[in-house]
Chain A
C-alpha cells in the first residue's frame, strides 16, 4: 500500500481555475509582499501537499513546538519550521485576519490569510534546528540574513512558478496514483543533490532487491557553491536509468525545495516529504543532509528512533566501495577484506576529476553518466 499522507490528509491549497480571475482582481486591494524563490517553492510545496499536514506558514505555537519538541502543536512529527519572514515596513498596516498577496519577481503567486505576526530569535532557531550558532554553517548564515518578523497563516496558490523542469515535476497526488498504477506495494524514496556515482546506484539497488519500486527524488533549488547544477543531475540520472535500471522499477521526479543542511532534523523532514509522495521506505545515508563537521556521521540515522509514529520506515544502508579482493562493489556488511583492497567511491574525488576534464574510472562512475556530465562546460554551481 502507498503510504498514508503525513498527518492523515493530503493537503491541497490550490485555487480552482474558475475562481482564479476573481482572486487575482481582489489582490489589487491587498498589501503585497515579494518573496524570494525558496519561499515561493515552499508555497508550492504546501499547496500540493508535499509538506502535508501544513496548510501554510507556521504560527508561533507550532513554531515553538517544532523548535523544542520536533513536533507540531498537535504532536505530529515535524522538524523544520516552514516560515515566512517579513520586515515591519513590508506589512505596515496589516492586521491578523487580513489577507495579503504574495508575489515572486513581481508576479502574483498566492494569497496568505494572516493568522499571526510574531517575533523570532534567530540564534535560538539556529541552535535548535542546526545545532550550532556558527554563521559559517550555510543554513545558519541564511537564517541570520532573514527579516525580523514571521507571518503565520494558510496560503492559497493561484499561479504556479515558471518551471523549466515541468516534465520532471510530479506532485504527491500524481506519484501516489502512479505508484498504485504500477502495482507497487512498497516504495523506497531516495533523496539526492548529486549526480549519481556507483555508490549511489548500489545503495538504491540494494533497497530495490526487496522493495517493489524506487522513487529517485533530487532536490532542485538553492544549494552550496560547487554542488552539481540541477540540469546536470537530471541529465545524469536519465542516462543512468536508461542504461542500468529496469524500466518498471523506478520513477524519477524532482522536488523544488532548498537544501537546508540541517543534518538530522532535515533527514526527518526529507522522510516526511517522501511519505507524502507515497513512499513506504526512505533511504537515510551517512551524514544525510549534513555539511562540514557539524553533525556526527550517524546522527541523521539515530534521530529516527525518536519518531515511532513517523509512518515511513527508514533504511540505513551502508556506504559502498569497490573491493579488489571481492572483485566488485561491496560494503562493510558483505565484504570481510581489509582497507588495502578497498577503493573508496568518493564524490569529492569524482568532482575533482571532472573539473580537470578527466573521466572518472568505471569503478566509481558509469561511463555513460560521466560522458553526459563532461559534456557540460561547468557542471557545478559557481555562485550562490
Chain B
C-alpha cells in the first residue's frame, strides 16, 4: 500500500541496531525502523493508559444505574 506518512530520525546505538537486525531476521518485520515503531507504539500506549478519567460524575453514575435497572440490565 502507498504510505505517505512523514518520518523523522531517532538515534539508537549501533550495537542495538545490529541486535535488532538479527532479531527480526525471518520475521514479518521488513526493517529495523518498522520494528522500533511497533515496539514504541506498544510501550507508549501503556504509558498513556494510566492517565484517563471517566467523564461522568457520581450523580450521573447513579442516574445511569437507575436507568439500567429500569430496563432490566441490572
Taken residue by residue from 194 to 212, chain A's Cβ proximity to chain B (1 for < 8 Å, 0 otherwise) reads as 0000000000000000000
Contacts of A167 in B (CB 8 A): 71
Instruction: Check B49–A12 contact: CB distance below 8 A.
Output: no
Tell me whether B22 is interfacial, beta carbon within 8 Å.
no
Instruction: Check B55–A178 contact: CB distance below 8 A.
Output: no
Instruction: Check B64–A311 contact: CB distance below 8 A.
Output: no
Binds B, one of A22-30, A61-69, A341-349: A61-69
Taken residue by residue from 38 to 55, chain B's Cβ proximity to chain A (1 for < 8 Å, 0 otherwise) reads as 110110110011011111
Instruction: Check B74–A69 contact: CB distance below 8 A.
Output: no
Contacts of A368 in B (CB 8 A): none
Taken residue by residue from 144 to 163, chain A's Cβ proximity to chain B (1 for < 8 Å, 0 otherwise) reads as 00000000000000000000
Instruction: Check A8–B48 contact: CB distance below 8 A.
Output: yes
Taken residue by residue from 51 to 74, chain B's Cβ proximity to chain A (1 for < 8 Å, 0 otherwise) reads as 111111000110011011001011
Binds B, one of A79-87, A112-120, A168-176: A168-176
Tell me whether B28 is interfacial, beta carbon within 8 Å.
yes
Bound-state CA distance A10–B68 (Å) is: 19
B-side interface size class = 20 to 34
- List CB contacts (< 8 Å) of A1-36 with chain B: 4-5, 8-12
Closest to A176 in B: B54
Give the shortest distance, in Å, between A306 (CB) and chain B (any CB).
8
Bound-state CA distance A278–B53 (Å) is: 13
The answer to whether A174 and B52 touch (CB under 8 A), given A308-B41, A311-B45, is no
Tell me whether A177 is interfacial, beta carbon within 8 Å.
yes
Taken residue by residue from 11 to 49, chain B's Cβ proximity to chain A (1 for < 8 Å, 0 otherwise) reads as 000000000000000001000000000110110110011
Bound-state CA distance A289–B52 (Å) is: 30
Contacts of A308 in B (CB 8 A): 38-39, 41-42, 45
Tell me whether A305 is interfacial, beta carbon within 8 Å.
yes
Instruction: Check A170–B53 contact: CB distance below 8 A.
Output: no
Instruction: Check B4–A68 contact: CB distance below 8 A.
Output: yes
Bound-state CA distance A311–B44 (Å) is: 11
Instruction: Check B64–A173 contact: CB distance below 8 A.
Output: yes
The answer to whether A68 and B5 touch (CB under 8 A), given A8-B51, A8-B52, A9-B52, is yes
Instruction: Check B42–A69 contact: CB distance below 8 A.
Output: no
Contacts of B42 in A (CB 8 A): 308-309
Query: Can you list 21 A-B pairs, Cβ within 8 angstroms, ordered by A?
Result: A4-B49, A5-B52, A8-B48, A9-B52, A9-B53, A12-B55, A68-B1, A68-B2, A128-B2, A167-B71, A170-B68, A173-B54, A173-B55, A173-B64, A174-B64, A174-B67, A176-B54, A177-B56, A181-B68, A308-B39, A310-B45
B residues engaging A (CB < 8 A)?
1-5, 28, 38-39, 41-42, 44-45, 48-49, 51-56, 60-61, 64-65, 67-68, 71, 73-74
